[in-house]
């Protein structure tokens, strides 16, 4: 169930040309945490490419290179993670949410803590 969510055209600050930025919904799953709370997990994939390239098509080629994949946690229709979600697919998000302290972070609106490099 791969679905195109958005396509935006932006100026590439490095080349001076333009890129198309695509956002795809890769998978959706209902999830009940170990504490009994119910969530909906959605995994999004992102592609950026020059406007001159052909549009990515998952129905023909499932090996499209995504530059970023993240999973967001929803309660009803409201996203509990603002900004970047949990890096990776639903399996990783479930593992992260199974830790009680992480679930509390989500409920309190603190989101996923990205490690700085």
**How is residue 23 written in tokens?**
């956002």
Apex 61 CA angle, 55 and 62, nearest 5: 115
Mean pLDDT of 74-84: 85
Residues 92-117: tens digit of each pLDDT: 999 988 887 888 888 777 777 766 65
Question: Mind listing the pLDDT tens digit for each residue in 4-34?
Answer: 899 999 998 888 899 999 999 999 999 998 8
Place of tokens 């919904």: 25
Asked if 2 and 25 count as a contact pair (C-beta separation under 8 A), the reply is: yes
Distance CA 13, CA 97 (A): 37
Map out the domains of the chain as residue ranges.
Answer: 3-107
């Amino acid at each position: 169930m791969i679905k195109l969510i958005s396509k935006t055209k932006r100026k590439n600050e490095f080349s001076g040309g333009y890129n198309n930025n695509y956002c795809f919904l890769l998978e959706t799953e209902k999830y009940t945490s170990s504490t009994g709370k119910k969530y909906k997990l959605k995994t999004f994939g992102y592609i950026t490419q020059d406007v001159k390239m052909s549009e990515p098509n998952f129905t023909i080629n499932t090996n499209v290179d995504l530059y970023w994949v993240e999973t967001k946690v929803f309660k009803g229709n409201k996203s509990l993670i603002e900004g970047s979600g949990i890096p990776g697919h639903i399996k990783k998000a479930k593992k992260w949410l199974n830790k009680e302290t992480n679930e509390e972070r989500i409920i309190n609106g603190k989101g996923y803590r990205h490690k700085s490099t």
